[in-house]
Amino acid sequence: MSQTYTAPQPSLLKLAGVPYFLIAFIARLPFAMMVVGVLTVVVAARGSISLGGLTSAAVGLGTACFGPFLGAAADRFGQRVVLLVLAVSNGAMLVVFTVTVYGSAADALVLLTAVGIGATAPQVAPMSRSRLVTIIADRMPEAQRARTLSGTMAYESAADETVFVFGPFLVGVLASAIAPSAPLIGAAALTVLFVGAFALHPSGRDISLQRDTSGRAPSAVAELFRPQLLVVVLGILGVGLFFGAMLTSLTSFMADRGAPEQAGLLYGVMGIGSAVLALGVAWLPPSFSLRARWLVFSGILLAGSLLLGAVSSPGMMMLALGIMGIGIGPTLVTQYSFGAARSPLGRSTTVMTMLGSGVIVGQSIGAALTGELAESVGTGPALMLPVVAATIVFAPGLANWFLSRTRPRSVRVPV
């Protein structure tokens, strides 16, 4: 009796290739180093924490203003040409900023060049998500898409968590071992080399099959402003606010105890746990819907942040950070999954860049506000800002519960 041969189903790892994931991981490091690197070099060169915070916020401003347009350009013309231009431009801006800070230029010019860093930042993470979503939607059997998408968003978020923990650590090592300017020079070199490699990877040629031969999307720009998508952008902005506020208030907390350099180690307790749990999201049952995950995990984040009001020792801080780590990683995975599912046809990169911009903008604003509050009022009030940020993550999740009444049209996932 003859047996019917069933061809093995293609995996995303095989379709994209192992080198892709290695290049994409290293290429996102400079983005994670920029905000902290800018803060470090400004404080070292100009002696002003306040100016350092404003400069970090200026990087976020540049990203907020230009990031979504760069994503739209990548959707329209393909990522390769956009990323090659950005790799060179951003590498140059990092060097120009370093020279400007150490020169005699006015503070206003320092802020302007910081905006230029943010405006030219190659947002590899959202563009990587967009590439992988395109591969899943265009080249994988429909039966595999939902689970593969969930696993992909989990991996990407875990990679982001790892980079956002390791990036500030790498900045500290380079600044201490070499010079305060070393992190930005190193970020410039990584940008040119690895963002360039990411751009030249064969997947950089892909434009979604949802676009026509001239690159036009079948969906209108107005669809980017639907409430179902904007609520995700607001929620992920809250995550960025939390990252910036938590790291800055934690630094102030440890500085009060004479060990500010240990803030990064404590922060790693949250980051590592968050990354591990983000990967675990891929194994959650489909019956645990996305809208329920957002509420549950952001609720854990909010509950953990409320403990900050009672923290009086590094041990208690580690406990609070551990609880918050349980919530933040899976929440971020869920938000990106919603972003992928709700992307208008042919505008995946635009949406992913909007979400990526939300994280970095929130981080910049959170760091600037918390630093100013810690310096002028004290650590106690500064530790309340992560609570505010966690609330901003939770509230859109509550609104999303009622907005998630219809199923997405493209890559289907349980909502």
pLDDT at residue 74 greater than cutoff 70: yes
Highest-confidence segment of 26-30, 252-256, 357-361: 26-30
Over residues 172-231, the pLDDT tens digits come to 778 778 888 888 999 999 999 999 999 998 877 765 555 544 445 555 566 777 888 899
pTM of the complete model: 0.74
User: How many CA atoms, within 13 angstroms, populate the side-chain half-sphere of residue 169?
Assistant: 13
Using CB atoms within 10 Å of the CB of residue 207, give its burial: 0 to 12 exposed, 13 to 18 middle, 19+ buried. buried
User: How many CA atoms, within 13 angstroms, populate the side-chain half-sphere of residue 265?
Assistant: 7
Q: What is the pLDDT of residue 150?
A: 75
Residues 249, 259: Cα–Cα separation, whole Å: 13
Over residues 81-133, the pLDDT tens digits come to 899 999 999 999 999 999 999 998 899 999 999 999 999 998 888 888 888 88
CATH architecture observed for domain 17-207+217-403: Up-down Bundle (1.20)
Contact between 101 and 110 (Cβ < 8 Å): yes
Percent helix, percent strand, percent coil in the chain, to nearest 5? 80, 0, 20
pLDDT at residue 349 greater than cutoff 70: yes
Instruction: Count Cβ neighbours within 10 Å for each residue of 208-228 and write b for 16 or more, e otherwise.
Output: bebbeeeeebebeeebbeeeb
Q: What is the pLDDT of residue 208?
A: 52
Q: What is the pLDDT of residue 411?
A: 45
Instruction: Count Cβ neighbours within 10 Å for each residue of 100-118 and write b for 16 or more, e otherwise.
Output: bbeeeeeeeebbebbbbbb
Residues 14, 8: Cα–Cα separation, whole Å: 12
- 19-25 own/partner pairs: CB under 8 Å, 24+ apart: 19/201, 20/201, 20/203, 23/194, 23/197, 23/198, 23/201, 24/124, 24/128, 24/159, 24/198, 25/159, 25/163
Q: What is the DSSP string of 147-208?
A: HHHHHHHHHHHHHHHHHHHHHHHHHHHHHHHT-TTHHHHHHHHHIIIIIHHHHHSGGGG---
Residues 281, 107: Cα–Cα separation, whole Å: 45
Over residues 357-377, the pLDDT tens digits come to 788 788 878 888 888 888 889
Q: What is the pLDDT of residue 96?
A: 95
Residue spans per domain, the chain: 17-207+217-403
Which residue has 């997405």 as its token pair?
408
Over residues 295-335, the pLDDT tens digits come to 999 999 999 999 998 898 988 999 999 999 899 888 988 89
* Phi, psi angle pair for 348, to nearest 5°: -60, -45
Residue type, 68: P
Who's near 218: CB < 8 A, 6+ residues apart? 210, 211, 212, 345, 346
Contact between 361 and 63 (Cβ < 8 Å): yes
Q: What percent of the chain has pLDDT over 90?
A: 28
Mean pLDDT of the residues in the chain: 82
pLDDT at residue 43 greater than cutoff 90: no
Query: Which residue in 248, 241, 242, 243 sits closest to 263, CA to CA?
Result: 248
Cα 291 to chain centroid, rounded: 20
Q: What is the pLDDT of residue 258?
A: 81
Length of the chain: 415
Residues 187, 174: Cα–Cα separation, whole Å: 11
Contact between 27 and 194 (Cβ < 8 Å): yes
